[in-house]
Amino acid sequence: MKDITKGKAAFVYASRLSEFKFSPEHPFKPLRVEKVYEMCERKGLFSDPSVKIIKVDEGNEENLGTFHTADYIDLLKRADSGSDVDVDMLYHGIGTMENPIFRGLYQFCVLSVAATLKAVEMVTDGFESAFNPCGGFHHAHSDRAGGFCYVNDAVIAVKKLRELGRRVAYVDIDAHHGDGVQDAFYDDPEVLTVSIHESGRTLFPWGGFENEIGKGRGRGFNINIPMEPDTDDEVFTLLFNDIVMDSVRRFAPDVIVGQFGTDTSATDPLTHLKMTNNGYIEAIELMHKSFPKIVALGGGGYNMKSVVNGWTLLWAELAGLDAGGGYGGAIGGVLMGDSSIEGSDLRDMRSYLSGPKKKELIQSADKLISYYKEKIQLLI
């Protein structure tokens, strides 16, 4: 299906999302979206006529029902007051330390889904790609919250694109396994689901192993690449090229829904990988070159500087603009209001492991590549 191009990229900005607060100590900070917006603006990445900022202020509640159960949606509605947690909510993962209730929780869910669906609309209505930084809530299941995720906007986006007749591959490079998306399409051969993440042996959600390859007709259309702790850019790139890119090329989608969490960074406080944003952005660049139509979603990322730099680089790539120049707010971070976000260079310094540990990591990666070639490649 041909999508006539009206512009290069759309940045979907639901600024109200930045106002929500999970809980004071919670690592997930909706405020990051505002910081990303500010950085892109400061870098001049919104000024080109081929890009557009799309503001989203409200959403349609009905969109949640394309994936989530009515009972679960009712629980989210009840949790919106931010006060009373009951046993039913806890049973469905709502009101825990991980997925706390907070004032406006339901509104937060409706709005984040609306922003992701707006990104879908832009891509199917003439933009090459679109980015919703406050999306990618890949751990939510149809009737259960998990891993800071209450509603799964990524699943809802894939379903919408399918409804519109597009062939979709979901590519998830967040440090955590995209379990909610895997479950949604596990027996579906019409959606390719690929997740490259830190192994479930050492990280939530404790699954996403290579032998989870889909079932029934969907066998071979669910791909997991569990990386060992300490994996660096070189090993990630090897796996990304040989498995992610190979599988996506074989599947030949019209559109990619990408979950581009930045928590693979060595600086991330919740994960154990040793990547820099060079490995992160180079993978996205490679994919974007072959598959320009991307609905890009945010995801995890718990070091503010890494998120802001990573997603600014992501936006620059989608927009076809150079993020290298411009002013990064070096005067003590005053302009950002956050002294941890300084300097004009968005790229991390390159850093690689060496020695016996590196050898071990390469051996593990080779095993995953062999497994993919022997068991999965020909099923796609």
Q: Give catalytic residue positions.
A: 139
Shortest CB 357 distance to Zn ion, Å: 23
Backbone angles phi, psi at 42, to 5 degrees: -60, -30
Give the interface segment with Zn ion, choosing from 43-51, 55-63, 215-223, 263-271 (CB under 5 A).
263-271
Which residue from 174, 246, 254, 268 is in contact with Zn ion, where contact means CB under 5 A?
174
Beta strands in 181-293 (DSSP E): 191-198, 222-227, 255-259
Nearer to Zn ion, 124 or 276 (CB): 276
Helix, coil or strand: residue 39: helix
Number of residues that bind Zn ion (CB under 5 A): 6
Nearer to Zn ion, 185 or 260 (CB): 260
- Which pairs count as long-range contacts for 227-230, CB under 8 Å and 24+ apart, including other chains? 227/196, 227/197, 227/198, 227/199, 227/273, 227/364, 227/365, 228/198, 228/199, 228/360, 228/361, 228/364, 229/198, 229/199, 229/202, 229/272, 229/273, 230/272, 230/273, 230/274, 230/353, 230/357, 230/361
Which residue from 30, 300, 310, 329 is in contact with Zn ion, where contact means CB under 5 A?
300
H-helix or E-strand containing 131?
Answer: strand 127-132
The DSSP call for residue 9 is E
Give the interface segment with Zn ion, choosing from 11-19, 97-105, 175-183, 319-327 (CB under 5 A).
175-183
Shortest CB 300 distance to Zn ion, Å: 2
Shortest CB 32 distance to Zn ion, Å: 13
Shortest CB 301 distance to Zn ion, Å: 7
Helix, coil or strand: residue 21: coil
Nearer to Zn ion, 253 or 261 (CB): 261
Which residue from 159, 176, 274, 305 is in contact with Zn ion, where contact means CB under 5 A?
176
Query: Binding to Zn ion by residue 263, rule CB under 5 A?
Result: yes
Residues forming contacts to Zn ion in the complex (CB under 5 A) are 174-176, 261, 263, 300
